[in-house]
């Protein structure tokens, strides 16, 4: 069985085709998928990244929203790879709207340059919210984990590691264009016309201003749901004044699924540390609750930083994208869809149920 998906990156003559073959119930050896799920005190992500750095032979590319020096146990391995002759490039967010992000990232860039590593800020007019590691253009680690102490020790995180040359090449070419600064608005397009039938299928989702690839694919998957939608989301916004917004379309799709009698549950971070975000999350939670969607909030003392969707216990969509205007329409984000892969979905589904059980209803 195989499935093809076509990508076009504006300005490139090459078209990117992603194919995932299935043999029996598993994947062939050329494609390896490893869920990387962190709970407070459990740091699988760093172990995964360290192993990838240690095995790097030619290149390491990092596209990160936030990468701090203090108490991040990954820099030694990165420097060791560079000392072996591996080319390392690091692209961090420079923010026009938040000077604190820029000032946290600046010492990291200076540190890396001192050690002979290519490091720079992105275009300050565009927010890079991605958390992306690419090794040798064939190993990709992405998800919700920023590179700071709290992300690695205190927060719930959902990531994934994929070893596949074609997945790697899609994200590596996306990184190349951002590195050169010549990826225009709308410059990464996913053709959903070739998305037919069911998986198994991996779909890399690089995003920049005006592309809306994540939302388009998610809405397509939500319209096909048969049994269940389980969501763990750090930020959700509902915009009553902008009825046609992508965020609203996603929430409407959840409501429609619940109205059809499907199992639709959403676990939302309380965002207790950020009052503005907490207010928006609560407004979205109330909207969904009043329209028949199951809602739990996490413990206010914890941060559930995941951006995770599980459909029918066999399809997973995860990465860096929250459900709000800037994430869905303006940011540089990276996500991955793993379609028709119940063995891959199972640990994420188990993770959801643990968080759901630990969560609390709106009236608690």
Residue 363 resides in a domain: no
Q: Tell me the average pLDDT across 253-267.
A: 98
Question: Three-class SS of residue 318?
Answer: strand
- Regarding beta strands 87-92 and 59-64, do their DSSP bridges make them parallel or antiparallel, or are they unpaired? parallel
**Distance (Å, rounded) from C-alpha 39 to C-alpha 41?**
6
Residue 364 resides in a domain: no
Res. 364 pLDDT band, cuts 50 70 90: confident
- Half-sphere exposure of residue 147, counting CA atoms within 13 Å on the CB side? 30
The percent of the chain in helix, strand and coil, each rounded to the nearest 5, is 35, 30, 35
Residue 45 resides in a domain: yes
Instruction: Tell me the pLDDT tens digit for each residue of 292-347.
Output: 999 999 998 899 999 999 999 999 999 999 999 999 999 999 999 999 999 999 99
Helical pair 246-259 and 275-290, crossing angle rounded to 10 deg:
30
My answer on whether omega of the bond before 76 falls inside 30° of 0, hence cis, is no
> Residue 212 — left, alpha, or beta (φ > 0 → left; ψ -120 to 50 → alpha)?
left
Looking at the chain, list the stretches that DSSP marks H as alpha helix, in order from N- to C-terminal side.
44-55, 75-83, 99-114, 149-153, 165-180, 213-223, 246-259, 275-290, 325-329, 342-358
| CA distance from start to end of the chain | 48
Domain count, the chain: 1
**Distance (Å, rounded) from C-alpha 207 to C-alpha 191?**
13
Res. 100 pLDDT band, cuts 50 70 90: confident
Question: Three-class SS of residue 220?
Answer: helix
Instruction: Report the share of the chain in percent with pLDDT over 70.
Output: 91
Cβ atoms of 304 and 293 within 8 Å: the answer is no
pLDDT at 211 over 80: yes
Residue ranges making up the domain that contains 295: 4-358
CATH of the domain at 352: 3.30.870.10
Residue 158 resides in a domain: yes
**Nearest by Cα to 189 from 172, 204, 199:** 204
């Amino acid at each position: 069985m195989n499935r093809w998906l076509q990508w076009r990156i504006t300005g490139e003559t090459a078209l990117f085709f992603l194919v995932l073959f299935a043999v029996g119930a598993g994947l062939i050896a050329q494609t390896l998928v490893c869920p990387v799920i962190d709970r407070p005190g459990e740091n699988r992500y760093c172990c995964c990244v360290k192993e990838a750095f240690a095995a790097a032979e030619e290149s390491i590319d990092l596209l990160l929203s936030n990468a701090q020096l203090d108490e991040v146990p990954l820099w030694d391995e990165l420097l060791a790879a560079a000392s072996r002759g591996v080319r390392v490039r690091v692209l961090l967010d420079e923010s026009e709207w938040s000077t604190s992000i820029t000032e946290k990232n600046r010492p990291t860039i200076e540190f890396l340059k001192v050690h002979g590593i290519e490091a720079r800020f992105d275009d300050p007019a565009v927010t890079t919210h991605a958390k992306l590691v690419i090794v040798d253009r064939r190993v990709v680690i992405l998800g919700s984990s920023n590179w700071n102490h709290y992300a690695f020790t205190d927060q719930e995180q959902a990531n994934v590691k994929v070893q596949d040359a074609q997945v790697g090449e899609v994200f590596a070419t996306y990184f190349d264009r951002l590195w050169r600064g010549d990826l225009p608005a709308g410059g990464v397009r996913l053709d959903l016309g070739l998305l037919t039938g069911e998986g198994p299928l991996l779909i890399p989702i690089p995003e920049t201003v005006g592309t809306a690839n994540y939302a388009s694919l998610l809405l397509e998957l939500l319209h096909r749901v048969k049994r269940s939608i389980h969501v763990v989301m750090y930020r959700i916004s509902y915009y009553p004044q902008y009825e046609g917004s992508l965020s609203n379309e996603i929430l409407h799709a959840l409501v429609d699924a619940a109205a059809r009698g499907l199992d639709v549950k959403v676990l939302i971070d309380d965002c207790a540390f950020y009052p503005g975000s907490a207010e928006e999350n609560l407004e979205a939670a109330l909207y969904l609750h009043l329209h028949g969607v199951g809602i739990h909030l996490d413990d206010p003392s914890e941060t559930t930083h995941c951006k995770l969707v599980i459909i029918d216990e066999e399809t997973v969509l995860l990465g860096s994208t929250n459900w709000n205007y800037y994430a869905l329409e303006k940011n540089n984000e990276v996500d991955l869809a793993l379609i028709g892969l119940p063995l891959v979905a199972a640990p994420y589904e188990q993770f959801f149920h643990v968080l759901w059980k630990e969560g609390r209803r709106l009236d608690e």
